[in-house]
Amino acid sequence: MHVFARIFSAIGAFVLAAAASGCAVGPDFHPVAAPAVNGYTSEPLPAHTASADVIGGAPQTLQPGGDIPGQWWSLFHSAQLDRLIDEALKANPNLAAAQAALREAQENASAEQGYLYPSVTAGVTGIRERRLGYKKGVPNLISSPFNLLNVGVNVSYTLDVFGGIRRQVEAAKAQSEYQQFQLEATYLTLTADVVTAAIQEASLRGRIAATLRLINDERDQLVIVQNEFDLGGASQADVMAQQTTLAQTEATLPPLNKQLEIERDLLRLLTGHFPSEDVGANFNLSDLRLPQSLPLSLPSELVEQRPDVRQFQALLHVASAEVGVATANMLPQFTISGGLGSYAAEGLNPAVLAWSVAAGITQPIFEGGTLMHRKRAAIEAYNQALAEYRYTVLIAFQNVADSLHALESDADAVKAEAIAERSASESFRLARDQYQAGYIPYLSLLVAENAYQQTIISLVQAEASRYTNTAALFQALGGGWWKRSDVVGSDVARQARGASYHDVASEYRFAPSAVGGGDGPTDARTRRLVVRVHEHRHLSRDRSAGRDDALELSRPLSVRHGAAHGDNQRARPLDHGQRNRTYGIGVDPGHRHRKGLFSAQCGSGLLDGAGQCSFRADPSSVAARNPTAADHLL
């Protein structure tokens, strides 16, 4: 008996130690490092694209490292487009379904966490019975009826010694993260589809307008040829040729109108309208402004910004956690259970109290290889998810490269088509004058007319392609979802920005990273610090120590380290202690410095790069008024 007691004591000590240590079998997930590439294209990109004096012909300049705005479509400066996208975001069923799927995944993840805690159940049982009495095996009396009441509580707990339950929770949370980025992908696809459909509508309207102008010109030309035929200056063949040209041009109009209605129906669908309803917006290329300054995310940031890449990263995390679950299923399972009950009946006074405690260990011994093969299958599922993730990353870089090449070639095409259109227009005008003067045959006029018709349609298409591929670049770079107000404070947004952010509460500590030039009374080197507001407003060090008009805030703040913007944004020490220095932290909306929001106390190690700064919010400066926007900063 003493041997068994020692064995159970040793097992109990091991179980408690393993549970307390929090170890979990299986691999610990770490995101795959960003590809070690320095650019998107094999050849350097030009500083700016070609330009032409036509609609959508402005030169475009790339800004490497620039940040995409959360509402990137606003760069087209179309109030109609902004309104239509707002309607789509409110009424599109696909977006609503993605939001519901995210909430479902979050609830499932919360439900999985419940298995980490004991299960407690309570029960009440009431019995009324009358028993038959026996004497020498023969019934001889019937007792009076009596009541029996049983009240009990049962507790059971599975000790997560090897982390199988924790891995299940980890997988559920990763699945929730997958749904989060599925929602972002749906959001990005929806907004990009609305923008693309609007551009296509504008392109079709431009082509229809150009075709109508050609039809009017060809009708006028037919009148001229018919008059010349009546006067004997043209043949019947010339009249028939012009009639054929006019009919061919008119035949191109119905397909264009059909495509226009299809695009209009698509806009109705995307915005949650029925085909019979009017979305109330008509787009023309002249109403859209081509963005000239294009932010281009760094290659190292792309994998954190693309929703599809983040989706496959989440699936990779799920697969990693499932390996741990499969491994834990091969190991012993430890359970503890107990019960406490009270029995009360007539004649029992006081009630009888009963309890029980049990512990169990279950170890799979022979399952026909099932558990082993399931673990191997989980490992191969991880390898599959890793390969799919890498392929998705390659596609993401290809999308950006294709968009960049398209923007460059589109600009060249618009420039060439603009030159061709002007040349064809002038050639057609001269040919018409010469034909009317009798210097050239009708065939030469017809050739010039057909050339002009082709160039004007090609120019409209080339102009629309610049708008479409500009939107495609924004989509390929991730669409700036991490800058939207509804996600800007979330962990995934911080991760996409590539910086470590912390919500401001009462105190912050972090190691500064950049050394700025010293200009304080002690000429000590100081650190440049940047403080940001969740609404993209920018806080920086206050140059002046004499201002007391604090900027009042109503929203939470966040802090990170980095370089301050502007040469005039420097910090002056407010005291001259040997061990600590205090700096005034202010805000710079539109280069009007204000102080008093924060004070930062930095240890002496700040000067050699090893110290830390402690940020404290000034409660007297934080009130219920929104800050002035400074959207041009960060």
Q: Phi/psi of residue 65, each to 5°? A: 85, 0
pLDDT at 604: 36
Contacts of 469 by beta carbon, 8 Å cutoff, 6+ apart: 403, 406, 407, 410
Tokens of 32: 């795959």
Q: Phi/psi of residue 504, each to 5°? A: -75, 125
User: Do the beta carbons of residue 75 and residue 439 sit within 8 Å?
Assistant: no
Q: At what angle do helices 236-251 and 253-270 cross, to 10 degrees?
A: 10
Task: Report the C-alpha gap between 215 and 218 in whole angstroms.
Answer: 5
Task: Report the C-alpha gap between 279 and 272 in whole angstroms.
Answer: 10
Tokens of 25: 């079998």
Task: Report the C-alpha gap between 415 and 50 in whole angstroms.
Answer: 7
| CA 592 vs CA 103, 256, 475, 566: distances in Å | 43, 54, 35, 12
The residue behind tokens 């169990």 is: 360
pLDDT at 427: 92
pLDDT reading at 465 higher than 90: yes
pLDDT at 354: 82
Which pTM was predicted? 0.72
**Angle at the Cα of 500 from the Cα atoms of 617 and 601, rounded to 5 degrees:** 35
Structure-model confidence comparison of residues 362 and 613, the more confident one? 362
Domains belonging to the chain, first-starting first, are 31-117+164-330+367-498 (1.20.1600.10), 499-621 (no CATH)
| CA 342 vs CA 118, 263, 350, 355: distances in Å | 21, 73, 10, 9
Q: In the beta sheet, which residues pair with residue 581?
A: 602
In angstroms, how far is CA 468 from the centroid of its own chain?
21
- The pLDDT mean for the chain works out to 76
Task: Report the C-alpha gap between 467 and 282 in whole angstroms.
Answer: 16
* pLDDT single digits (tens) 333-352: 999 999 988 877 665 555 67
H or E stretch at 134: strand 132-135
Which of 106-110, 279-283, 494-498, 525-529 has the highest mean predicted lDDT (pLDDT)?
Answer: 106-110
Tokens of 597: 């929001």
Which of 3-17, 124-138, 148-162, 221-235 has the highest mean predicted lDDT (pLDDT)?
Answer: 148-162
For residue 139, the 8-state DSSP code is E
% of the chain exceeding 90 in pLDDT: 50
User: Do the beta carbons of residue 622 and residue 547 sit within 8 Å?
Assistant: no
Q: In the beta sheet, which residues pair with residue 535?
A: none
The residue behind tokens 């009441």 is: 149
Structure-model confidence comparison of residues 622 and 112, the more confident one? 112
Tokens of 544: 């002046």
Strands 61-64 and 293-296: parallel
pLDDT reading at 332 higher than 70: yes
**Angle at the Cα of 598 from the Cα atoms of 597 and 599, rounded to 5 degrees:** 140
Task: Report the C-alpha gap between 226 and 379 in whole angstroms.
Answer: 81
pLDDT reading at 271 higher than 90: yes
* pLDDT single digits (tens) 322-331: 999 999 999 9
The residue behind tokens 């009963």 is: 354
pLDDT reading at 166 higher than 90: yes
* pLDDT single digits (tens) 497-532: 553 333 322 222 233 333 333 333 333 333 333 333
pLDDT reading at 575 higher than 60: no
Contacts of 182 by beta carbon, 8 Å cutoff, 6+ apart: 98, 101, 102, 307, 311
Contacts of 370 by beta carbon, 8 Å cutoff, 6+ apart: none
Structure-model confidence comparison of residues 580 and 426, the more confident one? 426
Confidence of residue 444 (pLDDT cuts 50, 70, 90): confident
User: Do the beta carbons of residue 197 and residue 270 sit within 8 Å?
Assistant: yes
H or E stretch at 341: strand 333-345
Q: Phi/psi of residue 260, each to 5°? A: -65, -45
Which of 210-224, 336-350, 392-406, 560-574 has the highest mean predicted lDDT (pLDDT)?
Answer: 392-406
Task: Report the C-alpha gap between 414 and 463 in whole angstroms.
Answer: 6
pLDDT at 180: 95
Lowest mean pLDDT among 75-79, 552-556, 618-622: 552-556
pLDDT reading at 88 higher than 70: yes
* pLDDT single digits (tens) 373-398: 999 999 999 999 999 999 999 999 99
Tokens of 502: 């912390």
**Angle at the Cα of 481 from the Cα atoms of 617 and 203, rounded to 5 degrees:** 140
